[in-house]
Amino acid sequence: MGSVKDFKIIEDPTPDKLGKGRFIYSDRYSVFDWGEMPDLIDNKGAATALLGAYFFEKLEEMGIPTHYEGLVEGRKVKRLSEISNSSDVMEVKLLRIIKPLLEGNHYDYSIYYNELGCFLIPLEIIYRNYLPPGSSVFRRLERGELKPQDLGLDKPPEPNQKLEEPLLDVSTKLEITDRYIPWEEAQEISGLDDQEVERLKEIATTVNDLITKEYAAIGLVNEDGKIEAGFDQHRRIMLVDVLGTLDECRFTYEGLPVSKEILRIYYRNTPWYSAVEEAKEKDRQNWKEICTLEPEELPYQLKKMVSQVYCACTNEITGEEWFKGLPPLKEIMGNIKEFLKV
């Protein structure tokens, strides 16, 4: 069980056979690494599952393999066009998760070098179209880990700057604290050949282009997002987890973040957030145990509007009215802007 979705294994994967499992998308949410927050966002789970299914099916039509099998309605696994009501359960093919060995302060990835298929690639690929103020890129530039030239720029970027060409970043996926790494190191630790690295980059670019186009059609800007991938039994790269949803990407409407980032904006002005920051300053490992306050419940009006955002996005992207009686997304975002006074 995760902080926002549950997971059920139906059949374990093996080195030469994919397994089977189900994601159960919940109405829970998490901010600032707290874990489950006190409120549930109505219909968030179903809206996320439907949107994830929509993008997986689009990508499969474009010839990109995914681990998606379908949504569960009753006892049957169906494609999006076959279900009659919203579903929060997605059936997927399962891959093995092979964790690198931690030896002192160093991870040994040699376990990957003789593996052929049916496993998760231990990388996360991040695509960036804009650099919002909170982007890790600015911290990495300050530390000298990146140079403006790495971003295709001749001088340091400004917050909210649009990149002329999308940046494809890569990080580790299975370490205790994941790290951004150069593509050369990513290739080495995961045992990929040159063609597989290029294919990963091609897939990430295709995903980014698709999501950008789909969300632009409903008035949202796709600032950044991520993909995860693995190998099937024939060592073909396949997309896994979920993508294109409000929890996986950073979208904005007229500069206002869309999705649970709205809730981060609200909580930053509460005593609980100050207590979280103070606890993290004292102890980065055990901060939650020493935090002096619990998060307060959301105002009813804000919780309702965030639920509407998730549902309206799913309706408008898919072109189906899964959730009835909603105002247009642009109207909901205007109401949220007024509520937050931003």
Reading the chain (342 residues) residue by residue, the pLDDT tens digits are 566 889 999 999 999 999 999 999 999 999 998 989 999 999 999 999 999 999 999 999 999 999 999 999 999 999 999 999 999 999 999 999 999 999 988 999 999 999 999 999 999 999 999 998 878 899 999 999 888 888 888 899 999 999 999 999 999 999 988 899 999 999 999 999 999 999 999 999 999 999 999 999 999 999 999 999 999 999 999 999 999 999 999 999 998 999 888 999 999 999 999 999 999 999 988 999 999 999 999 999 999 999 999 999 999 999 999 999 999 999 999 999 999 987
Residue 259 tokens, joined: 């999705």
CB atoms within 10 A of CB 342: 11
CB 288 within 8 A of CB 279: yes
pLDDT computed for residue 341 by the predictor: 86
Q: Where are the domains of the chain?
A: 5-340
Buried b (16+ CB within 10 A) or exposed e, 172-199: bbbeeeeebbebeebbebbbbeeebbeb
> CA distances (Å), 30 to each of 6, 261, 263, 267, in order?
14, 10, 9, 12
DSSP-assigned states of every residue in 262-317: HHHHHHTTSHHHHHHHHHHHH-TTTHHHH-S-PPPPPPHHHHHHHHHHHHHHHHHH
Crossing angle (nearest 10°) for helices 194-216 and 44-61:
120
Distance CA 270, CA 216 (A): 33
Instruction: List pLDDT tens digits, range 69-122.
Output: 999 999 999 999 999 999 999 999 999 999 999 998 899 999 999 999 999 999
pLDDT computed for residue 260 by the predictor: 83
Residue 127: half-sphere exposure toward Cβ, Cα within 13 Å:
28
Residue 338 tokens, joined: 């007024």
pLDDT computed for residue 2 by the predictor: 63
pLDDT computed for residue 134 by the predictor: 76
Say whether domain 5-340 belongs to CATH 3.30.470.20. yes
CA nearest neighbour of 200 among 94, 109, 13, 65 = 65
pTM of the model: 0.93
Distance CA 138, CA 251 (A): 19
- In the chain, pLDDT over 90 holds for what percent of residues? 87
- In the chain, pLDDT over 70 holds for what percent of residues? 99
Burial class (CB in 10 A: 0-12, 13-18, 19+), 47: buried
